[in-house]
Structure 1
Amino acid sequence: MNHGRTERLIDQARAKFRLDLSDLVVYTEAATGYFSLTPIIAALSGAKKVIALGADSKYGSFLEAKRTIQELARIYGCERRIRIAKEKRKEEVSEADIVTNLGFVRPIDKTMIGWMKPTACIPLMWEPWEYREQDIDLNECVKKGIVVLGTDESSTLLRTFDFVGILAVKLLLELDIEILMSSILVVGGGIFAGATVETLKRLGANVGWLSMAEYGSRPKASCVDRKTPFWIDITPECNNFIRSADAIVIVEHQERGELFGLQGKCSFGDLARINRGIAIAHICGTVDENELRDSGLNYIPNEIRKGGYMSVSTAYVGPRPLIDLHTAGLRVGELLARARLDGKDIDEAKRVAITQGPGKDFKSTL
């Protein structure tokens, strides 16, 4: 990690989103890689205390995460504000003004919500449409009066979705697909796919767009004109495009049905028979990983996550997307927490976070 640049990016994000967590307690995760920066951002933003919950995972051990965060905190001079925990404890959760919905904090279930104080809030580090029931018990939050609000990733200050396109570029280059003059099929709907199509076209790729989801439609994207081939099913024209395509980018983050595989509309074996040289870059979307592996097609990453989760996050391109997103999410939390501590009701607290920050409610849809 380039500590000098990382500190500069954190400072820029804090200033951009006007994040000030003074007198507030933050409960978040202790993770590895760039995800280790979240408690650092909170501490550098003046949080009275940051409790970071960690665990062993496929991404790294608890001890690795703890050592990483402690070293970062020492470098940035905020070690006294951070406590790293391995167990979820009532006395610590009950202190928190802001509880993030990040990996090791989840699930935020009935028990955990019961420990939270009435003025606590849960800022989502993504847009509300990305919500998964297994992550947060929203009904229990309503019963307890805990305010939950998403983060507007389309904000001009944030531009998370633009980084999804950059992520596709990085994966394709790792597959030795040059992009310029390459034929690439983007599979997915919604803003993730739209941003990916837009980015690849700007770099000179011949792009086809396939959305097999029920909501399949051509989202608004400034660079995506009507000349871009667009299909909502694997038609003969789409098949012809696949025959000469260099790669497929799978980037479906809303629909949970299987896109490719033995239960999908097309198997990877079928793809291999149509075009044995086609490469697969998987960002998100339900596919049959075992069938993909058996097909002999070249693909990335090695481990494919199930629908609703990203196999590779935007943090893979560098620290800026994560720093900006998590700073924005903490800003949403700050505004919600201060509003609730000032006696405002849930609706008024949400209004404050949406009008004064990058908050986005569940009522907003793409």
Structure 2
Amino acid sequence: MSRALTATLLDLSELTVLTEAATGAYAVTAVLAAMAGARHVYAFTKPTRHGTPGDARQQTLELADSVGVADRIDVLEQITPDILNQTDIVTNSGHLRPLTAALIDKLPKEAVIALMFEAWEFRPNDLDMQACLRRGIPIVGVNERHPAVDVFSFLGPLCVKQLHDCGLPVYKNRIGVLCDNDFVGSLRAGLTNSGASVETFDSVEAVYRDEWDAIIVALRPAAQPRIGSPEATHLAACAPAGGIIVQFWGDMDRTVLSANGLAVWPTAPPALGHMGILLSEIGPEPIVRLQAGGLRAAECVRRSRPVSTDGFAQIVTRPLVELSPIHTRSLPR
């Protein structure tokens, strides 16, 4: 966490942050904000399948206490108008979602919302964009490929971990990667560096029959599942007996895949629009980098610093209903 703060030059002095108190790797978010000098951090929590509010409180405050910032973090189960009225940065975190118009309308006009992933990954269901536009409150994405963040470089190892979990060594495996977005280079590099033979495709129709050990699906989520009946039929014709469809990102109709004789990993479906494996599955490092970068991007905009293509911050400028977020099911996240 200290290395991430040094790398990003995150400075939240004189700013108040509203984020989540969470469990696992996501307990770092509130603590990073406090370590970066935030005037105060309000960390909202609620029950999830990952833990109780008590779990989130304990993990967040124990981590905060270990670095001497617990006195600047309040863990909350209710957000009052008074808190919203003094907030400078709100994070688009799992416990806070969706960020409603009622919440946004109570923020100061100078406030910003930290998307906590890249702008092109914006998902309209996360927050009321029309309320942000009406209030002039920026929605700030983070450049995950900035050298101080570099989360994309973790996607290849994450995909390798997912394949290991489903019983494939990756080394010497024949892997098809079905990807229509910027993940493709990182996925290909990670799999190739682990010894796989890899072919990439930007559409289901482009996939051809081969002795695939697995076909990785990494398609941007849309209003309908990216793998429906026609797509499942095509993939079944391309995959050998025993081939596996691995859901890295992008919603799939698992019923039609099973009806076509295809196995699917992971066995439990992720939430709609979310990844099939959490970044935290390969350790806290990518989460720490992402959260520090997301806060840094929001800080830049809050302090009216220039937004450039090689900087930290990206601005969501219009509601693109077809976009959905990169990261994980609510871990919480």
Report the TM-score, using the length of structure 2 for normalisation: 0.87
Question: Which segments of 5 or more consecutive residues in structure 2 lack a partner in the other structure?
Answer: 321-333
Q: Is the CA contact 1:253–1:309 (under 8 Å) kept in the aligned structure 2? A: no
User: Distance in 1 between the 2:43 and 2:180 partners?
Assistant: 35
Secondary structure at the counterpart of residue 99 of structure 1: strand
1:58–1:272 distance in 2 versus 1, CA, 3 Å: farther
- Aligned position for 1:219: none
Shift of 1:295: 6.9
Q: Does 1:329 align with 2:320?
A: no
1:313 aligns with one of 278, 285, 296 = 278
1:293–1:75 distance in 2 versus 1, CA, 3 Å: farther
- Aligned position for 1:187: 178
Q: How does 1:342-357 map to 2 (within 5 A)?
A: 349=305, 352-354=306-308, 357=311
User: Distance in 1 between the 2:151 and 2:70 partners?
Assistant: 29
Question: Which segments of 5 or more consecutive residues in structure 1 lack a partner in the other structure?
Answer: 1-9, 213-231, 340-348
Q: Does 1:281 align with 2:246?
A: yes
User: Distance in 2 between the 1:64 and 1:311 partners?
Assistant: 24
Secondary structure at the counterpart of residue 231 of structure 2: coil
User: Distance in 2 between the 1:129 and 1:356 partners?
Assistant: 15
- Aligned position for 1:266: 232
- Aligned position for 2:118: 127
Q: How does 1:290-309 map to 2 (within 5 A)?
A: 290-292=255-257, 298-309=263-274
- Aligned position for 2:78: 87
1:32–1:89 distance in 2 versus 1, CA, 3 Å: same
Q: Does 1:164 align with 2:131?
A: no
User: Distance in 1 between the 2:155 and 2:200 partners?
Assistant: 16
1:297–1:32 distance in 2 versus 1, CA, 3 Å: farther
Shift of 1:306: 4.5
- Aligned position for 1:63: 54
AA in 1 matched with 2:26: F
- Higher relative CO (Cα under 8 Å, sequence separation at least 6) belongs to 2
1:266–1:299 distance in 2 versus 1, CA, 3 Å: closer
Q: Is the CA contact 2:122–2:316 (under 8 Å) kept in the aligned structure 1? A: no
AA in 2 matched with 1:362: V
Structure having the higher Rg: 1
Which structure shows the higher helix fraction? 1
Deviations 1:98-148 (CA, angstroms, capped at 9, x unpaired): 111111111112111111011111121111111111112222112112122
Shift of 1:356: 8.9
1:206–1:82 distance in 2 versus 1, CA, 3 Å: same
1:256–1:355 distance in 2 versus 1, CA, 3 Å: closer
Q: Is the CA contact 2:221–2:249 (under 8 Å) kept in the aligned structure 1? A: no
Q: Is the CA contact 1:253–1:307 (under 8 Å) kept in the aligned structure 2? A: no
1:289–1:355 distance in 2 versus 1, CA, 3 Å: closer
Report the TM-score, using the length of structure 1 for normalisation: 0.80
- Aligned position for 1:247: 214
Q: Is the CA contact 1:256–1:286 (under 8 Å) kept in the aligned structure 2? A: no
Aligned residue pair count: 320
Shift of 1:264: 4.1
What RMSD over aligned residues (CA atoms) do the two structures have, in Å? Answer: 2.6
